[in-house]
Structure 1
Amino acid sequence: MQANVLVIGSLNMDLVAQAERLPRAGETLLGQSFATVPGGKGANQAVAAARLGGQVAMIGCVGADAYGHALRQALADEGIDCQGVRVAEDVATGIAMIVVDANSQNAIVIVAGGNGQLECADIERFDGLLQAADVVVCQLEIPYAVVAFALERAHQAGKTVILNPAPASGPLPQEWLAWVDYLIPNESEAQALTGLAVDSVDDAEQAAGLLHEAGAGKVIITLGERGVLFAAGAQSRHYPGRKVQAVDTTAAGDTFVGGFAAALARGLDESQAIAFGQAAAALSVTHAGAQPSIPTLAQVEQVLS
Structure 2
Amino acid sequence: MAQSDVALFAPLPVLTLTVEDQAGRPDIHVHAGSQGVWQARMLVTLGSSVTMCCVLAGETGLVLRHLLEDEGVTVKAVQGVGRNGAYVHDRRGGERVEVAEAPSDSLTRHELDELYGITLSAALDAGAVLLSGPSDHQTDEDAVPADAYRRLAADLRAVGKPVIADLAGDRLSAVLESGLTVVKVSHEELLADGRAADGDQDSLVKAMHQVHEQGAEYVIVTRAHDPLLLLADGVVRIVRMPRLQAADTKGAGDSLTAGVTATLARGGDVEDAIRLGAAAGMLNVTRHGLGTGDVEAVLKLRELVTVERLEPGADDTGAAGREAKVTPRDLAERTQGS
Code of the aligned partner of 2:3: Q
* Distance in 2 of aligned mates of 1:143 and 1:174: 10
User: How far apart are 1:37 and its partner, in Å?
Assistant: 3.3
- 2:289 is matched with 289
User: How far apart are 1:233 and its partner, in Å?
Assistant: 5.8
Q: Unaligned 5+ residue runs, structure 1?
A: 19-31
- 2:301 is matched with 303
- 1:199 is matched with 199
- Which structure 2 residues correspond to residues 100-115 of structure 1 after superposition, within 5 A? 112-114=103-105
Q: Unaligned 5+ residue runs, structure 2?
A: 21-25, 135-143, 303-337
User: How far apart are 1:136 and its partner, in Å?
Assistant: 0.5
Q: 1:112 to 1:163 in 2, by over 3 A?
A: farther
- 1:86 is matched with 78
The answer to whether structure 1 residue 46 and structure 2 residue 48 are counterparts is no
| Larger CA Rg, structure 1 vs 2 | 2
Secondary structure of 1:119's match?
helix
Code of the aligned partner of 1:53: G
* Distance in 2 of aligned mates of 1:115 and 1:79: 27
User: How far apart are 1:146 and its partner, in Å?
Assistant: 2.7
TM-score under structure 2 normalisation? 0.73
| The structure with more strand, counted as a fraction of residues | 2
User: How far apart are 1:140 and its partner, in Å?
Assistant: 2.7
- 1:164 is matched with 166
* Distance in 2 of aligned mates of 1:241 and 1:177: 33
* Distance in 2 of aligned mates of 1:107 and 1:170: 27
User: How far apart are 1:14 and its partner, in Å?
Assistant: 3.0
- 1:262 is matched with 262
Code of the aligned partner of 1:123: Y
- Which structure 2 residues correspond to residues 137-216 of structure 1 after superposition, within 5 A? 137-141=130-134, 142-165=144-167, 168-169=168-169, 172-173=172-173, 176-197=176-197, 199-216=199-216
Code of the aligned partner of 1:180: L
CA contact (8 A) 2:246 2:285 kept: yes
Secondary structure of 2:298's match?
helix
Secondary structure of 1:48's match?
helix
User: How far apart are 1:295 and its partner, in Å?
Assistant: 1.3
CA contact (8 A) 1:280 1:300 kept: yes
* Distance in 2 of aligned mates of 1:108 and 1:156: 45
User: How far apart are 1:96 and its partner, in Å?
Assistant: 4.9
Identity %: 24
Q: 1:107 to 1:221 in 2, by over 3 A?
A: farther
- 1:130 is matched with 123
User: How far apart are 1:193 and its partner, in Å?
Assistant: 3.3
- 1:116 is matched with 107
Secondary structure of 1:247's match?
coil
Q: CA RMSD in A?
A: 3.2
CA contact (8 A) 1:130 1:136 kept: yes
How many residues were matched structurally?
286
TM-score under structure 1 normalisation? 0.81
CA contact (8 A) 2:150 2:171 kept: no
Q: 1:37 to 1:81 in 2, by over 3 A?
A: closer
Secondary structure of 1:57's match?
strand
